Amino acid sequence: MEDGKDMTVNVVVAHTNPCARDELATPLRESGYDVVEAADFDAALSACVELEPDVALVSKCIESAAGGTLLDELKGDPEVFSTAVVLVAPGQIALSLAQELLERGAEDVLMEPATAAEVLARVRAAHRTKTLQDELVGQGRRLETMLHEDPLTGLFNRRYVLTRLEGLISGARRHGRPLSVAMIDVDHFKQINDAHGHDAGDAALVAITSALRDRLRAEDELGRLGGEEFLALLPDTPAKAAASVAEDLRAAVENLTATVSVGWATWDGHEDADGLIKRADIALYQAKDAGRNAVRGAGEGSASLRRRT
């Protein structure tokens, strides 16, 4: 089969009439397609959800007990949305109805009775279109990743992590929730590069990234601001908990060949992202001035440490 020399093309054929269903399924099977038949709405929906087929060849007459259509169900489900749906309509239908079905997400409309050649041609065309659409979606996702991901560490890049901070501040303001950030800078990083080369420096950054991630929650976010500087976003984290997190981050890296200095700040309820970052940056410089491998908070002095729940 032209479509399936290097892959299996899965098709769900759904029709209430067993003879009509067989007439649709047989030429597909004989051409090498992997076909699953369904006789009613529930069976067809279950097959599509379970198999996520490439193409669903569906009789327009199939409806749920509540009158819903399989087309709308499939196109409303994010898991099977990409399945190409070819609707099978009895006899001739109005052009306006065909246009409506296409606008609702149908890939094609096949009129009954259909010859074996017509069935194969419509399913093959629908599968090719789906393949192209999947490739475009994949390219879009890869491009999106390139736009917000740091290529060395896999972390958010500077632009994206700062954009995320603006969003978190908006949410914190709206819901009255605490928010903190931690600026992290690798101590004496230039000496690592000078003594061991840039490859060793890159390896050190990757190892540090892994250590930092291990100390953060799933809802926390970590970005690379550039060079050897990182930014951790800590939603729902008040000042005392931020101090504890900052110390955890410092200690995590101390076990490696490098050390980091950390400056943290808690959102004051009014400032914008730039103001919050500036206070954390000042705290970071205070940690550097204290001899490095140290933690300082913005205006918090020696606040007691307490882990977040």
Give pLDDT, residue 271: 95
Residue 125 has pLDDT above 60, yes or no: yes
28 close to 35: Cβ distance less than 8 angstroms = yes
Distance CA(141)–CA(135), nearest Å, equals 10
pLDDT band at residue 225, thresholds of 50, 70 and 90? very high
Record the pTM.
0.56
Of 50, 228, 247, 254, catalytic: 228
Tell me the percentage of the chain whose pLDDT exceeds 70.
92
Query: Residue 267: exposed, middle, or buried by beta-carbon count in 10 A (0-12, 13-18, 19+)?
Result: buried
Residue 212 has pLDDT above 60, yes or no: yes
pLDDT digits 0-9 by tens, 130-173: 888 888 877 766 666 667 889 899 999 999 999 999 999 999 99
Is 228 an annotated catalytic residue?
Answer: yes
pLDDT digits 0-9 by tens, 25-58: 999 999 999 999 998 888 988 888 888 899 988 8
pLDDT digits 0-9 by tens, 261-282: 999 999 999 999 999 999 999 9
Residue corresponding to tokens 């490439």: 54
pLDDT digits 0-9 by tens, 53-73: 999 888 887 777 677 788 888
Query: What domains appear along the chain, each with residue ranges and CATH number?
Result: 10-144 (3.40.50.2300), 158-297 (3.30.70.270)
pLDDT digits 0-9 by tens, 229-253: 999 999 999 999 999 999 999 999 9
DSSP for the chain reads --S-SSSPPEEEEE-SSHHHHHHHHHHHHHTT-EEEEESSHHHHHHHHHHH--SEEEEETT-B-TTS-BHHHHHHT-TTTTTSEEEEEEES---HHHHHHHHHTT-SEEEEES--HHHHHHHHHHHHHHHHHHHHHHHHHHHHHHHHHB-TTT-SB-HHHHHHHHHHHHHHHHHHT--EEEEEEEETTHHHHHHHH-HHHHHHHHHHHHHHHHHTS-TT-EEEEEETTEEEEEEET--HHHHHHHHHHHHHHHHTSSS-EEEEEEE--SS--HHHHHHHHHHHHHHHHHTTSS-EEETTT-SPPP----
Residue 108 has pLDDT above 90, yes or no: no
Residue 10 has pLDDT above 60, yes or no: yes
The rounded mean pLDDT for the chain is: 87
